Amino acid sequence: MKKLLVLLPHYTVLIGLMFSTCTPTEQPATNTEVESLLDLPTRPNILWLVTEDLGPYLPMFGDSTIQTPNLSRLAAEGVIYPNLYSPSGVCAPSRAAIATGMYPSGIGANHMRTTSYSEVTGIPPYEAVPPPEARMMSEILRINGYYCTNNSKEDYQFNSPVTAWDESSNFAHWRNRAQGQPFFSIFNFTTTHESGLFEPYGFRKNEMRHYQAGDTTFATGDWNGRMTEEETPVHVARDLDFPIPPYLPDTELVRRDMWKLYNNIAETDFQIGAVLDQLEADGLLDNTIIFFYADHGGPLPRQKRLIYDSGLNSPMIIRFPGKQRAGTADNQLLSFIDFAPTLFSLTGIEPPDYLQGQAFLGNYQADQPRQYIHAAADRFDGFTDAIRAVRDERFKYIHNYRPNQQYYLPVVYREQIPTMQELLRLRDQGDLDEYQMQWFREKKDEEELFDCKNDPHELKNLAQDPAYADKLGALRAEMDRWLAEIGDQPNLPEAELLDQLWQGSDHKPVTAQPEIISDNGLVTITCPTPGASIGYKLIEGGAPGHAGWLVYTKPFEAPEAGSIQVQAHRIGYEPSEEVLLETNKLP
């Protein structure tokens, strides 16, 4: 793990969104071509602008329904990536993959949600438990000198250790870093979340946080609730000819939800512009790499939670310093599992061996682009399924481990969407067509194969067609290889999964209390729990302070006065008790 402790020169990377309508040049670039075109600072800042529940409903990805001036400018000055896929059709497992660089179905993060619905599952709350060598991506960046902030959603299927972030709050911002320090900053935009389709319709007031620029005097009480529809800005005309996918009925109610979807996107574009304005005002635009992406596919029924492309495909734009490769498209297959190694690669950090993806940019990018993306679907709130998928550039193979169970699950949260209510009403009346009824079939085919180029909505199963037998066999073999590699056990009862994660115990494991040793004023901290991260604070006057936790990596000199506050935490375990030692009592 020594390679994680090397400090590097400064550089800025952003993951986010930017600006004006454009049609990117079709330029599928190989890894070699990408590398030759990028002239990056030694150490970029990293900014992620992340939206929720958003498929490619954007002009630069072929949907010209609305204008998105900020994202379109970002695309005009950057590169679009049309073939990015999440490993799950829902947020928390996908965020677990991003945070750890490991597949959620291999570390116990695959059931949405692991910390609730115990009254339905009969299983106590638990967290994903990655292997002991795993660290949150942000912690590794912090160890290497980055100022890491998250504004503000976490939701990783586990609680982050105190070492994960310099700031994680509604006020977290790169502007709070030390002068000249490189940063990794995430801004999460929730307006496009599926709950933005609920009635009564209105934007979430807490999106106002993105305009505060780190101002912690803003009244948090003003963020509760929603605006009314009358207060909500109308960015999109209600009478547009909204594109409705064939698996949804074309009714007035569905069209209203489509208007809300696009209006939410337009508002998010506006909010993104506010953050980009701050970046430009700070003079950071051209030493920062900006990534914009969504946490998975779209918010509508038969999109979110499913592992069709409509649930997995996330739009992504990257703007590089100096507008390198501006207005181009890179069509390689990418997975969220590739984010961690790519960010390390861009910042000059050698990716740790435990990561399950590969870098697609930077000094450590893979020699060959990836051939397949993989995905899984398991429990969603109170309802469980077991599905795995593998996709190459054109074809997707799906294995249903519960073929006698229908695809549709009556998830209570989703049924607040008016379109979902409309589907159920029309189903009960017998008024859905054959494509709209597919989701409501009483049974599933055990194996499915789709030509995603000619059948982008994945409505025609080719698994029984002899003409596609070779492709079916190849993708089936790739799925078997992947399952074995990551230790996935599809359809494993969740109680047995928990037994494995907790190693046969009937309670969540607890991180051992850290041990502090002082020798001639040099403080050494250890923790007997394998894989535990250790955080500490140096506190003046002996009272706990509010400054962020530091990541312990090596012995340090004890302050002459004050105290040391220490906590250890392995991901998936309960954190240790905090230890507070007065420095004047150290030997």
User: What is the SS3 assignment for 565?
Assistant: strand
Q: Is the pLDDT of residue 139 over 60?
A: yes
Q: In the numeric block, which tokens belong to residue 360?
A: 């697609």
Task: Quote the pLDDT of residue 209.
Answer: 66
The average pLDDT across 426-444 equals 97
Are 439 and 458 a contacting pair, CB within 8 Å?
no
Active site residues: 91
Report the SS3 class of residue 277.
helix
Q: Is the pLDDT of residue 542 over 70?
A: no
- pLDDT value of position 15: 32
Using one digit for the tens of pLDDT, what is the confidence trace for 284-306?
999 999 999 999 999 999 999 99
Q: How many CA atoms lie within 13 A of 204 on its CB side?
A: 19
Q: Residue 301 corresponds to which tokens in the numbers above? A: 């029924």
Task: List the one residue out of 304, 310, 289, 374 whose CA is nearest residue 336.
Answer: 374
DSSP for residue 100:
H
pLDDT score of 326 more than 70: yes
Say whether pLDDT at 6 is over 60: no
pLDDT tens readout for residues 437-493: 999 999 999 999 999 999 999 999 999 999 999 999 999 999 999 999 999 999 999
- pLDDT of residue 583 exceeding 90, the answer is no
Res 217: pLDDT: 59
Could you give the angle at which helices 339-346 and 91-100 cross, rounded to 10 degrees? 40
Task: Convert the pLDDT of each residue in 101-132 to its tens digit.
Answer: 999 999 999 999 999 999 999 999 999 999 99
Q: What is the pLDDT of residues 401-419, one digit of tens each?
A: 999 999 999 999 999 999 9
Phi, psi of 263 (to 5 degrees): -65, -40
CA atoms within 13 A on the CB side of 544: 9
Which stretches of 271-382 are assigned E, i.e. beta strand? Answer: 288-294, 313-319, 328-329, 334-335, 373-380
**In the β-sheet with 563-569, what is the strand arrangement from edge to edge?**
550-551, 533-539, 563-569, 579-582
Residue 233: cis peptide before it, omega within 30 degrees of 0:
no
Q: Domains, the chain, ranges and CATH? A: 11-374 (3.40.720.10), 515-585 (2.60.40)
DSSP 385-412: EEEEEEE-SSEEEEEES-TTS-S----T
Contact 186, 15 (CB under 8 A): yes
Mean pLDDT of 337-347: 98
- Confidence (pLDDT) at 558: 86
162-166, 202-206, 385-389, 523-527: least confident range: 202-206
Measure the CA–CA gap between 173 and 228, rounded to whole angstroms: 29
Q: Is the pLDDT of residue 309 over 90?
A: yes
Distance CA 112, CA 454 (A): 32
Length of the chain: 587
pLDDT given at position 541: 63
Q: Given this model, what pLDDT does residue 434 score?
A: 97
Quick check: 224 pLDDT over 70?
Answer: no
- For residues 310 and 315, what is the distance between their CA atoms, to the nearest angstrom? 11
For 399-557, where are the alpha helices, taking DSSP H only? Answer: 418-429, 434-437, 469-486, 494-501
**Residue 582: predicted pLDDT:** 85
Would you state the torsion angle of the CA atoms of residues 479, 480, 484, 486, taken in this order, to the nearest 10 degrees?
Answer: 10
- Return d(Cα 269, Cα 51) in angstroms, integer: 10
Q: For 70, phi and psi rounded to 5 degrees?
A: -75, -45
How high is the pLDDT of residue 544? Answer: 53
